[in-house]
Amino acid sequence: MYYCGVCKSIGRRYGNLERFGLVNEMGMLALLLDCISNKAETTEFEIKNCIAHPLKKTPAVKNSLYTDYAADVNVVFAYFKLMDSWQDDKNFFAAVFAKLAFGRAVRKAKKNIPSVYDSIKNNLNKLSAFEKSQCKSIDETAHCFSELMADIFSEAPEIKEHIKSLSEVITEEKLVCLRNLGYYIGKWVYLIDALYDIEDDLKKGSYNPILLRFDYNHKETVSQFKDRIKEPLEFVFHDALGHCCEAWEVLCEDVPDTGKYKDGKAFMENVLYLGMRGKTMRGFLSNESI
């Protein structure tokens, strides 16, 4: 419902073409912010036809502060992802689509979320520089994506006021936890993407921090390489997930166990405690694309 809500928000605020750049994680971002701000219970829903499946009606969040915010973030991400495809692969179609479909939209999004726009742009530029220099440090490269995700979480509209109104005594602790949650989700996302892309990056000769950090030997198969790096890299993944869970437990202390909140908390806990860990484990066993 939140995923569809973000999609419809993009259409309402930017146009239908921009909806095809929707990122799955934006629905989770909107749901998470709704839960910890105690706004979920007042969120409204509507059932309308889906743009991707015109004959199918789906439930979607309606008029939510955080689906609108996620829509803004998604537009910025989609634009820079397309521009990155142009810069890295000289994908002319990506450059044209970025300018035609997202040029006006990204300018509007920049006005809506200026500090988050700057963080995404600056950190992706830093990340690009690390990639061009063939940086071997997974901590340095992941830090760029982690920082922009931390800003996306902590700079969400009205989130500080919502947290303060719920528990003024430990407001600062919760704000730190919110930033930590974004940071370590960002670290996990960046590294899981690199783990699942190992085989494709080898074929294309593309940058991959895991291949460089653990000195991939072209005499070994991908499976052999993953077996060799599994123990030290699993530690990095599980450390990030541990920080995510610690932060979430503090953030949801004041979230009710009733109604929509209960469903939202259950979904988030399923993602943090089971989904992300399962995805990590499968990454060491398969060569599928993420």
7 contacts 22 by C-beta, under 8 angstroms: yes
List the chain pLDDT tens, one digit each, 290 residues: 788 888 888 888 888 877 877 887 898 899 889 888 876 556 676 777 776 666 677 777 877 899 999 999 999 988 887 776 545 555 545 555 556 667 788 889 999 999 999 999 999 999 999 999 999 999 999 999 999 999 999 999 988 888 777 665 567 888 899 999 999 999 999 999 999 999 999 998 999 999 999 999 988 999 999 999 999 999 999 999 999 999 999 988 877 777 777 778 888 889 999 999 999 999 998 655 44
Q: What is the pTM of this model?
A: 0.89
**Cα–Cα distance for residue pair 102/109, rounded to 1 Å:** 10
**HEC profile for 53-102?**
CCCCEEEEEECCHHHHHHHHHHHHHHHHHHHHHHHHHCCHHHHHHHHHHH
C-alpha separations of 90 from 16, 82, 83, 197, 199 in Å: 26, 11, 9, 20, 21
**Cα–Cα distance for residue pair 30/164, rounded to 1 Å:** 19
